Amino acid sequence: MARVALVTGGTRGIGGAISLGLQQAGCKVAAVYAGNDEAAERFRDATGIPVFKWNVCDFDSCRRGIETVAAELGPVEVLVNNAGITRDATLHKMTPEQWSAVVSTNLDSLFNMTRNVIEGMRDRGFGRIVSIGSINGQKGQFGQSNYAATKAALIGFTKSVALENAAKGITVNAVCPGYIGTEMVRAVPEEVLKSKILPQIPVGRLGEPEEIARCVVFLAGDEAGFITGSTLSVNGGQYMAS
């Protein structure tokens, strides 16, 4: 039977590649997005993957959305917490709004989504949860104290939920990308990319969204049941976390 997988932020960027990778691996996929209807509809039309619109910052929206997905596709067996934003500023210039938007989208969402699938996974004795962190949560980054704090917290969340659910057939892991060639990174001027970013990456290039998707598909597989509480760094050698 095809597993049901839900990917937050699953309609574009890294999340779009993850949705596609899971579909190609045989899952029935639900892709959640926030407000960019045009990108979501384009993605749905191109892939046949159903899209669902709700705000991962809101607990009740997540509960209702997950119920809708369960009614249409079946109970969620694979959850990929991918939705994330940046609102960069050095701490001495950061506004409370910049802090809260990032904490709410990147961190509260982990609770809002995972809390609403975990009981079902425990009852059924199977679950795969993969959350997308960041190299900047592992090493810190200038101008990103809000973002780095949420991505570091994601690792603590992953390890704790992994411990609580290990005996129930549920694995919980984190994938931490480095620089990936999404729209955002590709928009950086060629000169800056060549002189500032690429020299930091020993492999000498940006990562591809599909390279993150492949890691998620691996961790989401039935055969990955002995891997839990782990953090997989996918950054071209830029930062080698122990």
> Which residue in 57, 172, 213, 219 binds ligand NDP (CB under 6 A)?
57
Closer of 32 and 76 to ligand NDP (Cβ)? 32
Residues in the interface with ligand NDP (CB under 6 A) total 29
Is residue 140 left, alpha or beta, with left meaning phi > 0 and alpha meaning psi from -120 to 50?
Answer: left
Question: Phi and psi (nearest 5°) for 134?
Answer: -165, 150
To ligand NDP, the closest distance from the beta carbon of 134 in angstroms equals 4
DSSP the chain: -PPEEEEETTTSHHHHHHHHHHHHTT-EEEEEESS-HHHHHHHHHHH---EEE--TT-HHHHHHHHHHHHHHH-S--EEEE-------B-GGG--HHHHHHHHIIIIIHHHHHHHHHHHHHHHHT-EEEEEE--HHHHH--TTBHHHHHHHHHHHHHHHHHHHHHGGGTEEEEEEEE-SB-SHHHHTS-HHHIIIIIGGG-TT-S-B-HHHHHHHHHHHHSGGGTT--S-EEEESTTS----
In the residue annotation, 239 being an active-site residue is answered as no
Which positions from 107 through 146 interact with ligand NDP, judged by CB under 6 A? 132, 134
Q: How far apart are CA 112 and CA 62, in angstroms?
A: 6
Give the range of 33-41, 89-97, 138-146, 194-202 binding ligand NDP by CB under 6 A: 33-41
To ligand NDP, the closest distance from the beta carbon of 211 in angstroms equals 11
Give the range of 81-89, 120-128, 164-172, 187-195 binding ligand NDP by CB under 6 A: 81-89
Closest C-alpha to 207, from 242, 172, 241, 239? 239
> Which residue in 23, 69, 78, 105 binds ligand NDP (CB under 6 A)?
105
236 is an interface residue for ligand NDP by CB under 6 A: no
175 is an interface residue for ligand NDP by CB under 6 A: no
Active-site annotation holder among 33, 147, 179, 239: 147
> Which residue in 94, 166, 185, 232 binds ligand NDP (CB under 6 A)?
185
Give the range of 8-16, 20-28, 64-72, 91-99 binding ligand NDP by CB under 6 A: 8-16
> Which residue in 3, 12, 28, 128 binds ligand NDP (CB under 6 A)?
12
Which positions from 195 through 214 interact with ligand NDP, judged by CB under 6 A? none
13 is an interface residue for ligand NDP by CB under 6 A: yes
Residues marked as catalytic: 147
Q: Report the interface residues with ligand NDP, using CB under 6 A.
A: 8-9, 11-15, 32-36, 39, 55-57, 82-85, 105, 132, 134, 177, 179-180, 182, 184-185
